[in-house]
Chains A and B, each alone.
Chain A
């Protein structure tokens, strides 16, 4: 099973659980009602309220904390319980194969014209010439560094392998993300579809990295704390929010997307195959592509948006076009096994 990028865990612990329980209670008589299944931060009052006012519809929101839970909810009702859902590009095949999504009538989403160029042609959301999603929020797994050690940002991930920084490097501990990064740095053509020979290359590359690591970390806060307490210079990060967290602890940290690129996740709105009122669902997706919504998303939650480039730029999220969007990997079990071999080496 896929697990959600751990950024979700960061949020899930706080309020998601409570809201998941509370949200289904917000149900009104059928008719003008939109049922939303999403992550925390993707259905904020700033755009839910105007949507309600404009359409006269009620909006019921269910938040989940993991991709597995989201899929289980959709699968359980074959999509009949929800109208619109949001998840990242790597999970699209799973939903499309299960017949849980309806293709979008792009003509009814005029705001799609607002999408920044980097998000106008995303291969992962297409199937047989039909479009199944609209890009909405994004982020990356960047290289975070200490500016005291690097007056100019390191231009390559290879800096993490530099023996000069032995025991001053830490890495996240997610099998899929680490194998993918190893493949990106080793120059494998498709980091999500590795051959056996590729796996050997990646394994050797990651074992070499291990020699330079102080430790792996398992969690947002854990990474930030270890970085701050042990004079770390470089970190394979779990996401943008780790940088302000480090700055709060007095570390002059910054992030960079090295020349090889970095993993990006791109969340999209989709329409459920069981949507009761497709026109209303499309109206919601359209409303979410308003640049004003993108502005709030980025300024409030810290995620990149897909429509408001000026706000992204102001937040430093200028690198959407240099990210390698997550795709489903060839074999997760094999990835875990290879990652275990790296860690046991």
Chain B
């Protein structure tokens, strides 16, 4: 076997896994979104009726837009929490920096469902938050203010996806040469001015990438809203989910999933573009 042939063989072997496990399922989805259902049977077809039905609905497009808004707010909260943490880690020296970084990455190794339950037990009527507030005398009695509403969704998602905000922000901070920060100080820049004119602009790309990561992850999450959101925990992910059970309208579900995928793809491409420009 010639080295060239061997190289091609190796490439095929390496490429086959993502093709089989990622591209083929996605392609199957896209194809199914053009099918239709007739008397509980899937019928292969080439119809855009599912997409038309989505845009004609007076409920689903609204739920889609509300979900996008929700995820945008989650992204903003994620960055608002993530940036100070990443900055704090970056300001540390030596081993402490990596210990802290590891500490904030540990939730990544935990089960996602466990994290939701944990958040629920923190925010719930008998949760730590309420107990703390009652003990401190801030509340007279435990409140349902923090659970089974929109606030609970925002808080839970922001916390669950926090590591995905912290890591890209930290990476972009670490790329800033210390000499630039020193130069700013040498030229008389107060710490706040150095931050405002040097650090913040240079870490902006990583911050935006972190926000987009959180946005996309929140977009695909239909369990958190349902579990902590109460009556307001209804998102487009849940609409898609509902088409695969009792309703048995897989093609309609596939069409909505394809639209969701399209939005996620655009957002990820944007993140990739920003990340690449930073490297220059």
Chain A interface (Cβ < 8 Å from any Cβ of B)? 1-3, 167, 173-176, 210-211, 213-216, 218, 229-231, 332-333, 335-337, 339-341, 343-344
Partner of A337, one of B125, B126, B231, B247: B247
- Show 24 residue pairs from A and B whose CB-CB distance is below 8 angstroms, ordered by the A residue: A3-B246, A167-B148, A175-B247, A214-B144, A214-B230, A215-B230, A215-B231, A215-B233, A216-B226, A216-B230, A230-B125, A230-B144, A230-B147, A230-B148, A231-B125, A332-B248, A333-B249, A335-B246, A339-B242, A340-B59, A340-B60, A341-B59, A343-B238, A344-B59
Q: Which residues of A contact B126 (CB under 8 A)?
A: 229
7 further contact pairs, Cβ within 8 A, besides A214-B230, A336-B242, A343-B234: A173-B226, A175-B247, A213-B230, A333-B249, A337-B247, A340-B63, A341-B59
In the assembly, what is the distance between CA of A216 and CA of B231, in Å? 7
Q: Which residues of A contact B230 (CB under 8 A)?
A: 213-216
In the assembly, what is the distance between CA of A167 and CA of B229, in Å? 13
In the assembly, what is the distance between CA of A337 and CA of B226, in Å? 17
In the assembly, what is the distance between CA of A216 and CA of B234, in Å? 11
Partner of A336, one of B60, B231, B234, B243: B243
- Per CB-CB distance, the 5 closest pairs between chain A and chain B, nearest first, are A336-B247, A215-B230, A343-B234, A215-B148, A333-B247
Interface range on chain B (Cβ under 8 Å from partner): 20 to 34
In the assembly, what is the distance between CA of A1 and CA of B41, in Å? 10
Q: Could you tell me the distance in whole angstroms from the C-beta of A229 to the nearest C-beta in chain B?
A: 6
Interface readout for B219-243 with A: 1 if CB under 8 Å, 0 if not? 0000000100111011000110011
In the assembly, what is the distance between CA of A231 and CA of B239, in Å? 30
Residue of A nearest to B125 (CB): A230
Q: Could you tell me the distance in whole angstroms from the C-beta of B170 to the nearest C-beta in chain A?
A: 36
Partner of A175, one of B60, B147, B242: B242
Q: Which residues of B contact A216 (CB under 8 A)?
A: 226, 230-231, 233
Task: Check B246 against A176 for contact (C-beta < 8 Å).
Answer: yes
Q: Which residues of B contact A344 (CB under 8 A)?
A: 59-60, 62-63, 234, 239
Is B40 interfacial (CB-CB < 8 Å)?
Answer: yes
Q: Could you tell me the distance in whole angstroms from the C-beta of B131 to the nearest C-beta in chain A?
A: 13
Q: Which residues of A contact B226 (CB under 8 A)?
A: 173, 216, 218
Is B201 interfacial (CB-CB < 8 Å)?
Answer: no
Residue of B nearest to A232 (CB): B125
